Amino acid sequence: MKNLNSNSEAEDATPHNRMIAGVQVKGKVIDHQTRCTHYHSALDIIAIKFKCCNTYYPCYSCHQEDTDHVAVPWPVDERDTKAVLCGACGHELTIAEYLSSHNTCPSCHASFNPNCAKHYGLYFEVDGRSQKNEY
Ligand SMILES: [Zn+2]
Ligand SMILES: [Zn+2]
Ligand SMILES: [Zn+2]
């Protein structure tokens, strides 16, 4: 790949990697609160770090489109890892903190999208029954 000397600051609607609160978030990010082309409701303000590449993406689809490997969910015994970024305040939550946050940022009290719970199995290993990816 060539060196991208892009001056993309002006094109704010263009999806691209962004620095959010000093943290790089990759993928099709469309605003400074981690919304992406896939999920961009008022509540979609978190990015998740993927274990496989140690990189924040706004969502699973962003990860799949930006990489050519399968996302690895965080194992249960690594829940004290900071892997969730609040796009509202830039606070990094551990997985345990996020899973017990009741969809509210412990730092700025912004609301997270409760529908993310449907996809927890893509990001985190869930104890008890395993939610396998259907690929
Ligand atoms: Zn990855
Ligand atoms: Zn996305
Ligand atoms: Zn916050």
Separation of alpha carbons 51 and 71, rounded Å:
8
Q: To the nearest 10°, the Cα dihedral for 13, 15, 17, 21?
A: 40
pLDDT in tens, 5-50: 544 444 456 889 999 999 999 999 999 999 999 999 999 999 999 9
Q: What is the pLDDT of residue 49?
A: 98
Counting ligands in written order, the one closest to the CA of 38 is: 2
pLDDT in tens, 3-17: 555 444 444 568 899
Q: Which residue has the higher pLDDT, 91 or 131?
A: 91
Distance 14 CA to ligand 2 centre (A): 13
Distance 98 CA to ligand 3 centre (A): 11
Judged against a pLDDT cut of 80, whether residue 103 lies above it is answered with yes
Distance 33 CA to ligand 3 centre (A): 10
Distance 48 CA to ligand 1 centre (A): 11
Q: Which 8-state DSSP code applies to residue 112?
A: P
pTM over 0.95: no
CA of residue 62 relative to chain centroid, distance: 9
Separation of alpha carbons 64 and 60, rounded Å:
6
Three-state DSSP at 36 gives: strand
